[in-house]
Amino acid sequence: MPLIVTGYNYFKLCQSLGMNISFLSKNSWLFFILLVSVVLLIGELLNHRFTMHDLEVYYRTAHRMVHQEALYRIQSDGHYVYKYAPTAAAYFIPFLILPFTAVKVVYWFLLTGITAYILHLLFALIAEKPGSTASKFRNKVLLLSFLAGAAHFHREWHLGQVNLFLLFSYVCITCSLIKDRPLMGGFWLGFSLYLKPFGLIFLPYFILRKQYKHVLYSLVFLLVFGLIPFIFYPSEPAFKQLYLSWFNELAIEMKMKQDLLAAGNHTIFSVLARYTPLQLLLPNAQAVKIYQLIVLGSIATCFLLFIKSSRKEWQNYYVAEMAFLIAFIPMLAFTSYNAFLFATPCIVILLYNARQFSGSEKTLLTLALILIGGNIRDLVGPKNFAVLDGSSVYTFGSILLLILLYRLRKKQFQQRD
């Protein structure tokens, strides 16, 4: 009830200030996201949970970079050590002009804005005739898309993480493919790889689609961004040591995430092994590597089948294929559950085209959305949350989304034949 009253008062205030109410109605999805963001921020402040531990790590490391200090394995950091590339620390240097208390508020609303802009861009890419879609339908699709991933979006805002920057980069890469702007695509891929190397999944796809300029510019910007720390560590030994320390951090991180059968390992490799008798065929590390290669090969084959029936005259085939790859990222890399916000492009596509589905397919879509975003600690309770998280419900939701994406593409191409 307080949320409804606050929303009503907000619209009355806008009306009293002479704002165009038709604009508000056309973009109610946007104002809903902003309202939710403000309410959640107030809740964080009242409950003394506005800590943003991950952002604090980035901020602290950026300060150390400016002062040419060591970045890795600082004992005083305790659990919150810096694990990302040196270049990623440089990205946060502009925030140093503000005290951390102010930076947290700025970053919260920056992530909120990025969330909304990602949804806006995705809808614009998917709509076959931009600007012609009724605002009521647009509001419905974007509101449902936001609600489906709200738990993951909020987790990103709460921690001050970087996965939303990654998703924004991936959507921009998709735009670059559609608009044939390899310079832009290379820039965003180079930028993203120093936050987390998930974007490497796109390089084989670029080659497959004969987007060689995208590969070239990606490598160029990878080099350019990689040299940024040299500004702060201008001696060759210091610069070299910086990257050696990062590689050591990566090795430590990889060793910590090798348990294939661990609860909460949401990769497709782990889920298949845990829920099938395949785990009985994995007695040692060598067998596990062979198993992972076989699964990876099977996934690659499925993706090739997915893109095989594409049509050049369909301008949006890049969107579906990139959505497929982006959604698969958290199923290939052992990462936190909030990385399943990478399913957002897939969700927007499916909700936009939901009218083409049969009743049973719509039921599966609803189930997928619940599995992806329904495991909310405050909703199901800490114990149930832990059980569902350990069971990797997000992975099952993503698998259902990808199956429905394949079904949608098949339907669309049958209609065009």
pLDDT, tens only, 214-225: 999 999 999 999
Final residue before a domain boundary, out of 256, 281, 306: 256
Residue 390 has pLDDT above 90, yes or no: no
Q: Among 157, 124, 136, which Cα is nearest to 40's?
A: 157
Domains held by the chain: number: 2
Q: Verify that 213 and 293 share a domain, yes or no.
A: no
Query: In this structure, are 243 and 355 located in the same domain?
Result: no
Average pLDDT over residues 110-131: 87
pLDDT of amino acid 313: 43
Tell me: do 271 and 164 sit in the same domain: no
Q: Within this chain, do residues 162 and 26 fall inside the same structural domain, yes or no? A: yes
pLDDT, tens digit, for every residue of 187-236? 999 999 999 999 999 999 999 999 999 999 999 999 999 999 999 999 99
Residue % of the chain over a pLDDT of 70: 89
The pair phi, psi for residue 315, each rounded to 5°, is -65, -20
Contacts of 100 (CB under 8 A, 6+ apart): 56, 59
The answer to whether residue 312 scores a pLDDT higher than 70 is no
Match 């993480």 to its residue by tokens.
161
Same domain, yes or no, for 108 and 52?
yes
Q: Are residues 43 and 94 in the same domain?
A: yes
Q: How many CA atoms lie within 13 A of 122 on its CB side?
A: 32
* CA distance linking residue 294 with residue 183, whole number of Å: 35
Distance CA 123, CA 138 (A): 8
Regarding whether 92 and 223 lie in a shared domain, the answer is yes
Do 305 and 409 have their domain in common?
A: yes
pLDDT of residue 310: 60
pLDDT single digits (tens) 125-184: 988 655 556 788 899 999 999 999 999 999 999 999 999 999 999 999 999 999 999 999
Residue 31: domain span: 1-256
The end-to-end CA distance of the chain, in Å, is: 51
Residue 334: is it exposed, middle or buried by C-beta count within 10 angstroms (0-12/13-18/19+)? buried
- Residues 134, 37, single domain; the answer is yes
One domain for residues 221 and 308: no
Handedness of CA 386, 391, 394, 397 (dihedral sign): negative
Three-state DSSP at 156 gives helix
pLDDT band for position 388 (cuts 50, 70, 90): confident
Q: Which of these three, 204, 226, 256, is where a domain ends?
A: 256
